[in-house]
Structure 1
Amino acid sequence: MVDDDAVAGRRFKVTAQFEVDVADPAALERAALAYIDGMVFALDEDSEQAQEQLRAAERDDVAGDSAAALSLLLDLDAVVDVEGVEVGDAEYSVEANGHLRPASPDFAVLFEVCACGRPSCGRCAGFQVTSRTAAVLWRMAGLLADHAYDDVAEYGDDPVTTTVQWSVFDEFPRITWRQNAIWRRQAARSFDDLAEDLAAGRVPQPSCVAEEMALHLMLSCAAEDGGALLENDFSTLAAHTDDLDWELLREVLFQDNDILELFDPSRDGIEDPDDEQNRDLRMGDYTAPAWFTPFDGLPARDPRRPFRR
């Protein structure tokens, strides 16, 4: 029996989607301009003047336009670089898909630790949030904020259920699962608020219940993936004996752990300040509408601050 594929070739349609990060738009534009300088156009009446006019039009197209520059430089033949395969008719488009995360702050300066080793040194003897710890927490805050905003975009006001895969809000206490998209966007911003604290060199101190929840999730995720983040993104930061001590951070960064009571089904209702268990623990108001109310004695966030998304 003769294999038809061995006698004649066949055409296939290959569908692929790529996300490309343009970290340096200026470098991309320079590459596109250099490519344009070498372009030769097929013209009926060829002249260098006509060639240069077309090159000038191409330069105008890519000026300040990363999508146009990327489209010009993409090479589909390079994508399908397989022996015996030729690229036929192909179409593709380039469109914006958000912004890259901003460059990392200089955590080595923002969270400079003392290493003098003198017994009399209060800084060495006490706990220090190190540059590596701060960097990992900052990155986790950004990632969790991204995922929380993704949840809002995908599910809106839909209640959280265990039958649907959520990114963040299924990790929140059940009393929050029926909150609307407005509440969830505020909760997503709590991760950004803590990230901003770290980027400013401040040790994150939750100022409301939502930020307590955000910080607990940041620490949990950091405990799971912090080592990989260090290796991939922050390997140049100097090591310290206090690095990545997430359990100790849980002890020093929170005034209390009352929010964790909300995860215990046997304590349902404890979020209500009139609940007997709540009064016994002196928890205060942990109902969902109160999650963004500043704690007593702590400054409130600027209510006019924007949402990132």
Structure 2
Amino acid sequence: MGERNDQPQGPHAAEESGAQEIEATVVLGLRITDWPALRAAARAAVEELEFDGIDPEGQRAQLLREVAEDPNAALGALLHPDRLVASLPGIEALGGTLEISVTDDFAPDFAELFPLDDDGDTGDWTLTPRTACLLHTQLISLSDAAYEDLDDHGDDPVTVADEGDWTVFGRLQQRTWSLHRGWRRAFARAFDDLADDLAIGEWPLPRCPAEDVALRLALADARALLGAQPESVADMMGDLPADLYDYDWDGCTDELFGVYGPDEEDGDLDAGQRIDQLLAATHPEGWFLNYEDAEERDPGRGYRR
């Protein structure tokens, strides 16, 4: 004879056993460290979903596009309550919602990413934690402003009359003023690409003409902010260590530009002048072509917005 089982069985077993309905709240602080891997996992999760309605495959295609471009959407696909609960034994989901928001609480630790020499050696120029922090802040701000320009103006051309209404694209060469939304979105991403370099402890070395222009704007804005609001910048730095090379914008120009890019055919030209020549000779549509000696960025990295 088999052993007797006194535990309630069947679909109403939870009610008969006095099982409780529980509302669980989980708060997670997350930092995305590998966007391509996150995107791939989210796409795989979407492929496994079952869609109802008139056009299930259309719904799937739309969600695949969203998770390919938006990290928040990718996280949403992976962290959906139904998906999480399905992996746990002995429980069923009664419903739930997921809220994802971007927080400033998990900013890069620039002191760790750009450590200073303990011996106080000042022989070689270095990108200091405070310089990296301020430059990163300006790159993110410019990216946000560029996306806001897109939201406000779309494909509308910049004109002399409304140049001041554009935060970013009115500052570019006039021959870019009539370019399409896709070009502008790619330029907004150039700020994010350089900011991402800083966020993982790498120098923001421009890999294409668009990034050269983006970094110039960020350096100009960082210099202007420091001159106009030094106390605000000091507050922004918090406990980051100070160094002799803090806010050395001329040093940034000398060290960050020209590592990749046009060859030094004319020895009398500095990196900035060579870049100016390249920009003048290249149609803006070609500004996103990688320099030959620069590593290509992930073509599937998507856009922040």
TM-score, scaled to structure 1:
0.58
**Aligned residue runs from structure 1 range 17-96, under 5 A:** none
2:297 is the counterpart of 1:301: yes
Whether the 8 Å contact between 1:111 and 1:130 is mirrored in structure 2 is: yes
Secondary structure (helix, strand or coil) at the match of 2:202 reads coil
Runs of 4+ aligned structure 1 residues displaced above 4 Å come to 63-66
Structure 1 match to 2:238? 235
Which of 249, 264, 270 aligns to 1:246? It is: 249
Alignment partners' CA distance in 2, 1:143 and 1:128: 24
Whether the 8 Å contact between 1:132 and 1:230 is mirrored in structure 2 is: no
**Aligned residue runs from structure 1 range 79-158, under 5 A:** 99-101=102-104, 103-117=106-120, 124-158=122-156
Whether the 8 Å contact between 1:213 and 1:259 is mirrored in structure 2 is: no
* Range 232-241 or range 194-203, more displaced: 232-241
Alignment partners' CA distance in 1, 2:27 and 2:184: 36
Structure 2 match to 1:271? 280
Structure 2 match to 1:72? none
Alignment partners' CA distance in 2, 1:258 and 1:115: 36
Whether the 8 Å contact between 2:209 and 2:275 is mirrored in structure 1 is: no
Alignment partners' CA distance in 2, 1:125 and 1:270: 34
Structure 1 match to 2:212? 212
CA shift for structure 1 position 115 = 4.0
Secondary structure (helix, strand or coil) at the match of 2:136 reads helix
Alignment partners' CA distance in 2, 1:138 and 1:304: 23
> Which amino acid counterpart does residue 293 of structure 1 have in structure 2?
L
Structure 1 match to 2:267? none
2:262 is the counterpart of 1:287: no
Alignment partners' CA distance in 2, 1:258 and 1:289: 20
Alignment partners' CA distance in 1, 2:222 and 2:296: 26
CA-to-partner distance for each residue in 1:81-114, whole Å, 9 max, x for gaps? xxxxxxxxxxxxxxx9x74456210100000011
CA shift for structure 1 position 132 = 0.4
Alignment partners' CA distance in 2, 1:246 and 1:222: 9
Alignment partners' CA distance in 1, 2:97 and 2:274: 48
2:272 is the counterpart of 1:257: yes
CA shift for structure 1 position 228 = 4.6
Alignment partners' CA distance in 2, 1:102 and 1:177: 36
TM-score, scaled to structure 2:
0.59
CA-to-partner distance for each residue in 1:258-287, whole Å, 9 max, x for gaps? 47747xxxxxx9723xxxxxxxxxxxxx21
Alignment partners' CA distance in 1, 2:252 and 2:97: 45
In the comparison of the two structures, how many residue pairs are matched? 196
Secondary structure (helix, strand or coil) at the match of 1:252 reads helix
Alignment partners' CA distance in 2, 1:182 and 1:101: 28
Structure 1 match to 2:70? none
Secondary structure (helix, strand or coil) at the match of 1:125 reads coil
Whether the 8 Å contact between 1:208 and 1:292 is mirrored in structure 2 is: yes
Structure 1 match to 2:262? none
CA-to-partner distance for each residue in 1:198-217, whole Å, 9 max, x for gaps? 00000110000110011000
Secondary structure (helix, strand or coil) at the match of 1:271 reads helix
Alignment partners' CA distance in 1, 2:284 and 2:104: 30
Alignment partners' CA distance in 2, 1:218 and 1:236: 23
Structure of higher RCO (CA pairs closer than 8 Å, 6+ residues apart): 2
- Give the unaligned 5+ runs of structure 1: 1-24, 28-62, 67-95, 119-123, 263-268, 273-285
Quote the RMSD (CA, aligned, Å).
2.6
Structure 2 match to 1:200? 200
CA shift for structure 1 position 116 = 1.0
Instruction: Report which of the two structures shows the higher radius of gyration computed on alpha carbons.
Output: 1
Alignment partners' CA distance in 1, 2:107 and 2:210: 24
Identity of aligned residues (%): 34
